[in-house]
Amino acid sequence: MSMIEFHDVQKYYGQFHALRDINLEIDKGETVVLIGPSGSGKSTLARTVNGLETIQSGQLIVNNRDLSDAKTNLNILRRDVGMVFQHFNLYANKSVLENIMLAPRIVSHVPEAENKKAAMDLLDMVGLADKAQNMPSQISGGQKQRVAIARSLAMKPKLLLFDEPTSALDPEMIDDVLQVIKQVTSASDMTSLIVTHEMGFAKEVANRVIFMDAGQIVEDDDTKSFFSQPETQRAQQFLSKIITH
């Protein structure tokens, strides 16, 4: 059963061809890591999956909903598709706890007591129960990202998208966040698509790696073979530069 299907998807920003001939199928329960140089279209690809970016042609089906159809209600799709952003995007006017509780309350109408308990459990899981009443401006970047992960989990998504979740963090904060992501994505019924530059982490959590360059999928392989013997020259070149540093 597939969770995400791209069929000949094209995406342009004006003249710029951001996604070229994307054909991709991701099954339920998979943890897929998307890597590649800057500007290769990784983030764009991830953002098309929950409709934050529109596509110009081709077909894109996520969780059995057709995103290439203008009539598809994206709000309903997004209840099942969580997203974690590079810059966290916590609501600046809401406390940590409210950040987590808001969507379940106003989107899926979860009863208040149940909602609060679930939110506190999530904060506990990411190790930030004591920060529940803080405002986002009062916590560190790593803590913000862990709250953002808890926020996306509060909607009980079937699919999680991570858009460079550690790129804006201090080096010391990265590990805590990666541990949380690892825990979340390892759940057997969770499908995850992770855009990252952390190769060690990619090796550890992913069961599949997709390598992109210039808007195209250049290589799509299981994690072990990708890192041990990449097929294409472009991927070999990319890995040699990263690993030797």
Which residues contact another protein by CB under 8 A?
50, 52, 74-76, 78-79, 81-83, 85, 87-94, 102-103, 106-108, 148, 151-152, 154-155
Query: In Å, what is the CA distance from 207 to each residue of 6, 101, 116?
Result: 19, 32, 34
**CB 203 → another protein: shortest distance, Å?**
27
- Give least dist CB 112 to another protein, A: 16
Taking the C-alpha atoms of residue 67 and residue 86, their distance in angstroms, rounded to an integer, is: 23
Q: How many residues does the chain have?
A: 245
Given the complex with another protein, which of 26 and 103 has the nearer CB atom?
103
Give me the least distance between CB of 82 and another protein, in Å please.
7
Nearer to another protein, 33 or 154 (CB): 154
26, 111, 170, 221 from 6: Cα distances, Å: 9, 37, 34, 17
Cβ nearer to another protein, comparing 155 with 235: 155
Measured CA to CA, the distance from residue 148 to residue 82 in angstroms comes to 10
Residues 223/217, Cβ–Cβ less than 8 Å: no
Q: How far is the CB of 90 from another protein (least distance, A)?
A: 7
Q: Quick check: helix, strand or coil at residue 132?
A: coil
CB of 74 to another protein, least distance (A): 8
Q: Looking at beta carbons only, is 41 or 82 nearer to another protein?
A: 82
Measured from the CB atom, the residue of 51 and 230 that comes closer to another protein is: 51
Helices (H), the chain: 42-49, 74-79, 96-106, 112-125, 141-154, 171-185, 199-205, 223-228, 233-243
Nearer to another protein among residue 61 and residue 153 (C-beta): 153
Q: Give me the least distance between CB of 3 and another protein, in Å please.
A: 17
Distances (CA, A) of 146 to 3, 67, 140, 169: 25, 29, 10, 11
